[in-house]
Amino acid sequence: MSSQTITINIVVYNGERYVRHCLNAILTQTYPHQNIEINILDNNSTDKTREIIQEWASFGKLRIPKFSFVESKENLGMWPGQEELLKISNGKYILAMAIDVILDKNFLANAFKRMGSDDKIGGLEAKIYKFDLTPDGFFPSRIIDTCGFQIFKSRRVINIGHGQEDKDVSFAETSADIPLTNKALSNKSDDKQFNFNKYQEIFGVEGAAPFFRKEALENIRIKGKLIDDDFFWYGDDLDLAWRMKLFGWKEVFDPDVIAWHDRQTTKTLKKNFSDFIKLRRAIPIKKRRLDWRNTRWTIIKNDYIINILKDFPSMFKRELQMAIYILFFEPKILLEIPKFIAMIPKMLIKRREVMKRAIIKPDEINKWFS
């Protein structure tokens, strides 16, 4: 494993709309191309994704020769697919990237510099903005998609800055050549004190484009597994980020590392309860069910009992509110309850393995619950 090599691992399913934009942005990287490795896993796409990747590889490999394309015969899911690609990854650092992400030209160079400044950084979160993709091209915006995970005493988890306008940003020095859209809308958020232009430690990196130290990923495996296969999709990134924190690795936000993400499930912002209902209904019911189930499995696996007891009033209040809301507005989520309950014994076994190796004390973790 070269100390200079960065591996970009991309898992894709039916991503024909994004493939060329995503891969072409990698070709613009200022980081030396001889030190970049690209691995792509296709999750049995039914559109033209595979054909486009193969076509791109015919010329892309001339610029970045370290290129591998794996075609799965089934949809493994996002993070199980990432775990498969990790097996063939040779880089010291791993960018686990979604296909609907476009990198700024200095993304890899700045991420490499930051990771080299502190050996205890296990995961780095970029400042990720929203973008629009139209037949006319790629339109970046000043609207934050995520700056990482924030978690509350109620165990509610949000994407830091989601929907807020980064008013101080200028894209004059980025790889985006198309003018900004006029769709920027400011939005109040729980993380209103977060400084989008300050390097800082965060609770956890989010799953759109996390930049990892490979050593950290190998260290946080449980019985040889990095990702919990029982999750399948959604919530895997929170589970991984929480475990990384428990095992003593830092997770940081660096505003100099920039990307854009076209998050499909939250295109609009909620201003009132009616907007919230519309926003929720726009999210596929499968995702809503898995989000509900997997977030609670993550808490069972990773949360200290003493911290749960400390924050029980906040947690109980939120769960009661969620239960009432689900009962009246999203009853299909209740269909997930039997599997959720049936798997609790298995999750407790996994919890035991996590807690055996956790080195961060409960009060150190609890300070992240705002």
Q: Which residue has the higher pLDDT, 178 or 7?
A: 7
Provide the pairing of β-strand 2-12 with 137-146: unpaired
pLDDT tops 90 at residue 272: no
pLDDT tops 50 at residue 163: yes
Q: Which amino acid, residue 126?
A: A
Q: Are 261 and 146 in contact (CB under 8 A)?
A: yes
- Banded model confidence at residue 281, pLDDT cuts 50, 70, 90: confident
Average pLDDT value over all residues in the chain:
90
Q: Furthest-apart CA pair in the chain: how many Å?
A: 59
Q: Read off the tokens for 294.
A: 């997997």
Helix (H, G, I), strand (E, B) or coil at 4: strand
In angstroms, the CA 353 to CA 370 distance is: 27
pLDDT tops 60 at residue 267: no
Q: Are 7 and 89 in contact (CB under 8 A)?
A: yes
Q: What Rg do the C-alpha atoms of the chain give, in angstroms?
A: 20
Handedness of CA 141, 258, 292, 235 (dihedral sign): positive
Average confidence (pLDDT) over 329-339: 95
pLDDT tops 60 at residue 133: yes
Q: Which string of b and e fits 102-123 if b means at least 16 CB within 10 Å?
A: bbbbbbbbbbbebbeeeeebbb
What integer pLDDT is reported at residue 184 of this predicted model?
30
pLDDT tops 70 at residue 30: yes
What integer pLDDT is reported at residue 265 of this predicted model?
59
Percent of the chain with pLDDT over 70: 91
In angstroms, the CA 338 to CA 37 distance is: 43
Average confidence (pLDDT) over 284-302: 95
pLDDT tops 60 at residue 176: no
pLDDT tops 90 at residue 193: no
Count how many Cα atoms sit within 13 Å of the Cα of residue 249 in the half-sphere of its side chain: 26
How does pLDDT run across 109-122, given as a tens digit for each residue? Answer: 999 999 999 999 99
How does pLDDT run across 79-92, given as a tens digit for each residue? Answer: 999 999 999 999 99
What integer pLDDT is reported at residue 135 of this predicted model?
80
DSSP 189-209: -TTTT--TTS-EE-SB--SSS
- Banded model confidence at residue 180, pLDDT cuts 50, 70, 90: very low
